[in-house]
Amino acid sequence: MKFILVISLCSFVNNECLPPVQVTTQYESWKECTVAALTISNDIIVQQKDEDVNIAKLATKFMCEEIKET
Protein backbone atom coordinates (compact mmCIF):
# COMPACT_ATOMS: atom_id res chain seq x y z
CA MET A 1 0.00 0.00 0.00
CA LYS A 2 1.25 3.47 -0.87
CA PHE A 3 -0.06 6.94 -0.10
CA ILE A 4 -0.02 10.39 -1.64
CA LEU A 5 -0.28 13.62 0.27
CA VAL A 6 -2.81 16.30 -0.66
CA ILE A 7 -2.43 19.58 1.21
CA SER A 8 -4.16 22.99 1.26
CA LEU A 9 -3.53 26.32 2.94
CA CYS A 10 -6.72 27.45 4.69
CA SER A 11 -8.11 30.46 6.48
CA PHE A 12 -10.07 29.54 9.57
CA VAL A 13 -11.56 33.06 9.71
CA ASN A 14 -13.59 32.65 6.55
CA ASN A 15 -13.45 28.85 6.34
CA GLU A 16 -11.89 28.86 2.87
CA CYS A 17 -8.92 26.97 1.46
CA LEU A 18 -6.71 27.45 -1.54
CA PRO A 19 -7.01 24.64 -4.09
CA PRO A 20 -5.34 21.48 -2.80
CA VAL A 21 -1.88 20.55 -4.04
CA GLN A 22 -0.80 16.95 -4.50
CA VAL A 23 2.75 16.24 -3.35
CA THR A 24 4.55 14.18 -5.99
CA THR A 25 6.22 11.84 -3.51
CA GLN A 26 4.61 8.47 -2.87
CA TYR A 27 4.84 7.35 0.74
CA GLU A 28 5.25 3.77 1.85
CA SER A 29 2.98 4.07 4.90
CA TRP A 30 0.26 6.21 6.47
CA LYS A 31 2.72 7.25 9.19
CA GLU A 32 5.38 8.31 6.68
CA CYS A 33 2.78 10.40 4.83
CA THR A 34 1.43 12.12 7.96
CA VAL A 35 4.92 12.92 9.25
CA ALA A 36 5.75 14.46 5.86
CA ALA A 37 2.48 16.43 6.01
CA LEU A 38 3.49 17.94 9.34
CA THR A 39 6.91 18.93 8.02
CA ILE A 40 5.49 20.40 4.80
CA SER A 41 2.75 22.17 6.78
CA ASN A 42 5.38 23.78 8.97
CA ASP A 43 7.32 24.95 5.90
CA ILE A 44 4.18 26.43 4.32
CA ILE A 45 3.21 28.37 7.45
CA VAL A 46 6.76 29.62 8.09
CA GLN A 47 6.87 31.01 4.53
CA GLN A 48 3.76 33.15 5.14
CA LYS A 49 3.88 36.64 6.62
CA ASP A 50 3.21 36.65 10.37
CA GLU A 51 0.48 39.24 9.93
CA ASP A 52 -1.32 37.12 7.30
CA VAL A 53 -1.18 33.99 9.45
CA ASN A 54 -2.47 35.81 12.52
CA ILE A 55 -5.20 37.86 10.86
CA ALA A 56 -6.58 35.11 8.61
CA LYS A 57 -5.78 32.35 11.13
CA LEU A 58 -3.99 30.37 8.45
CA ALA A 59 -3.32 26.69 8.85
CA THR A 60 -2.92 23.70 6.59
CA LYS A 61 -5.36 20.92 5.97
CA PHE A 62 -4.08 17.63 4.63
CA MET A 63 -5.10 14.13 3.67
CA CYS A 64 -3.07 11.04 2.97
CA GLU A 65 -4.84 9.12 0.23
CA GLU A 66 -4.23 5.47 -0.45
CA ILE A 67 -3.27 4.69 -4.03
CA LYS A 68 -3.46 1.42 -5.86
CA GLU A 69 -0.15 0.04 -6.91
CA THR A 70 0.13 -1.03 -10.53
Task: Tell me the mean pLDDT in the region 43-60.
Answer: 97
Based on the structure, what is the number of domains in the chain? 1
pLDDT, tens only, 6-44: 999 999 999 999 999 999 999 999 999 999 999 999 999
The answer to whether position 15 is within a domain reads: no
pLDDT for position 69: 74
The answer to whether position 19 is within a domain reads: no
The answer to whether position 16 is within a domain reads: no
The answer to whether position 36 is within a domain reads: yes
Q: How confident is the model at residue 70 (pLDDT cuts 50, 70, 90)?
A: low
The answer to whether position 51 is within a domain reads: yes
pTM of the model: 0.88
The answer to whether position 43 is within a domain reads: yes
The answer to whether position 37 is within a domain reads: yes
Conformation bin of residue 50: beta by default, left when phi > 0, alpha when psi is -120 to 50: alpha
Which residue range(s) make up the domain with 55? 1-10+25-60
pLDDT for position 3: 97
Task: Report the 10 Å Cβ neighbour count for 9.
Answer: 21
Taking the C-alpha atoms of residue 35 and residue 50, their distance in angstroms, rounded to an integer, is: 24
pLDDT for position 13: 96
β-strand partners of 7:
21, 62
Taking the C-alpha atoms of residue 1 and residue 46, their distance in angstroms, rounded to an integer, is: 31
The answer to whether position 69 is within a domain reads: no
